[in-house]
Structure 1
């Protein structure tokens, strides 16, 4: 790949865009929520408890309803996940995470459409995917797409 002035300018603009995103209020809120989440012992205990139970859940899932602990594990995993999800710090982090993902999806769409209106940008978000004219859930979803 040869370095041309156009490519160097494009890389400079990409770096500037990345800096702008990293300095945004949304990223700052995400980092604050992440720090709170990681530094709270009670919340971390709930997360670790869920991860341990998730391993048991995956073992039970291999055998399905024929596993002797199926009903017990299924009930416990739901209760532990609910307890973790209702934790205030986990909820705040999930909101901040979704906000950041939305920002990145929007930037991806803007960059993709500035190249060409035919560029398919897999966002994983049906709101953005449907705006591209695809009625099957998005071109980047891995399925067969009916877009033209």
Structure 2
């Protein structure tokens, strides 16, 4: 198949993705998130708390406010994620992300099992590893026989 035919197929795939139910739900959830003042305030509060925590985290438990800041950022994160508009956006975002990762895995696998495909956690796996998980194991070098 020549390059022109491939780009034509890619255009068809992109159009199908753009018109998909998942993409429409993502756009709808994103618009709702932008319009929801309370959700935006919760996000801004979380980001500010996270920045304060990251500053203190450089010193770890030796920072006088480390524990308080850690609890504060966790509480604000939970409050933010439980907000219905934020939860809807996150669910739509993850569903679309899962679809895109699955497409990337299928494309990589169609070329060769050795071709790297982006994984869910931004690591790269070969198509075979993506099917079997991340390669498994506890990282102990096989001492526990978990592989």
TM-score range relative to shorter protein: 0.7 to 0.9
- The number of residue pairs the alignment matches comes to 132
Q: Within the alignment, does 1:25 sit opposite 2:24 as a pair?
A: no
Kept after mapping to 1: 8 A contact 2:26/2:93:
yes
Mapped to 2, the partners of 1:113 and 1:79 lie a distance apart of 41
User: Which runs of 5 or more structure 2 residues have no equivalent in the other structure?
Assistant: 137-147
Give TM-score, length-normalised by structure 1: 0.80
In the TM superposition, structure 1's runs of 4+ consecutive aligned residues that sit over 6 Å from their partners are none
2:52 is matched with 56
CA contact (8 A) 1:120 1:132 kept: no
**RMSD of aligned Cα (Å):** 2.2
| Greater Cα offset, 72-81 or 27-36 | 72-81
1:9 Cα deviation from its structure 2 partner: 1.2
In the alignment, which residue of structure 1 is the partner of 2:93? 97
Partners of 2:21 and 2:118 in 1: how far apart? 24
Displacement of 1:60 after TM fit?
A: 0.5
The separation in 1 between residues aligned to 2:44 and 2:132, in whole angstroms, is 42
- Shift of residue 13 of structure 1? 1.1
Query: TM-score, with normalisation over the residues of structure 2?
Result: 0.80
**1 or 2, which has the higher strand percentage?**
2
- The question of whether the paired residues in 2 share the 8 Å contact of 1:46 and 1:84 is answered with yes
Residue 136 and residue 11 in structure 1: after superposition, are their counterparts in 2 closer, same or farther (change >3 A)? same
Superposition map of 1:1-148 within 5 A: 6-124=2-120, 130-133=129-132, 136=135
CA shift in 2, pair 1:67/1:7, >3 Å: same
